[in-house]
């Protein structure tokens, strides 16, 4: 089975799929996130995050 990286547009309560795929990459850790497991993202930065830990790391780095 070939996995393909998806391209998404992150909205406030959902995301739009621009290019079909199986996963996206976490902006902090680089871990693959299956689309069905994608729960954390930043609309303003258009980034996906693997878990709340990565969200917190990003927020600290941009001093939210």
Q: 14 lies in which domain range? A: 7-61
Q: Is residue 1 part of a domain?
A: no
Q: Is residue 42 part of a domain?
A: yes
Q: Is residue 2 part of a domain?
A: no
Q: With cut-offs at 50, 70 and 90, classify the pLDDT of residue 2.
A: confident
Contacts of 58 by beta carbon, 8 Å cutoff, 6+ apart: 27, 28, 42, 45, 47, 49
Please determine, for residue 64, whether its predicted confidence score (pLDDT) is greater than 70.
Answer: no
- Average pLDDT score over the chain: 95
Q: How many domains does the chain have?
A: 1
Mean pLDDT across 17-25: 97
Q: Is residue 18 part of a domain?
A: yes
Look at residue 23 in the predicted model and tell me its pLDDT.
Answer: 98
Please determine, for residue 17, whether its predicted confidence score (pLDDT) is greater than 70.
Answer: yes
């Amino acid at each position: 089975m070939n996995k393909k990286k998806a391209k998404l547009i992150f909205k406030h309560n959902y995301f739009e799929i621009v290019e079909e795929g199986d996963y996206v990459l976490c902006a902090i850790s680089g871990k693959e996130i299956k689309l069905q497991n994608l729960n954390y993202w930043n609309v303003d930065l258009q980034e996906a995050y693997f878990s709340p830990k990565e969200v917190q790391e990003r927020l600290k780095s941009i001093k939210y």
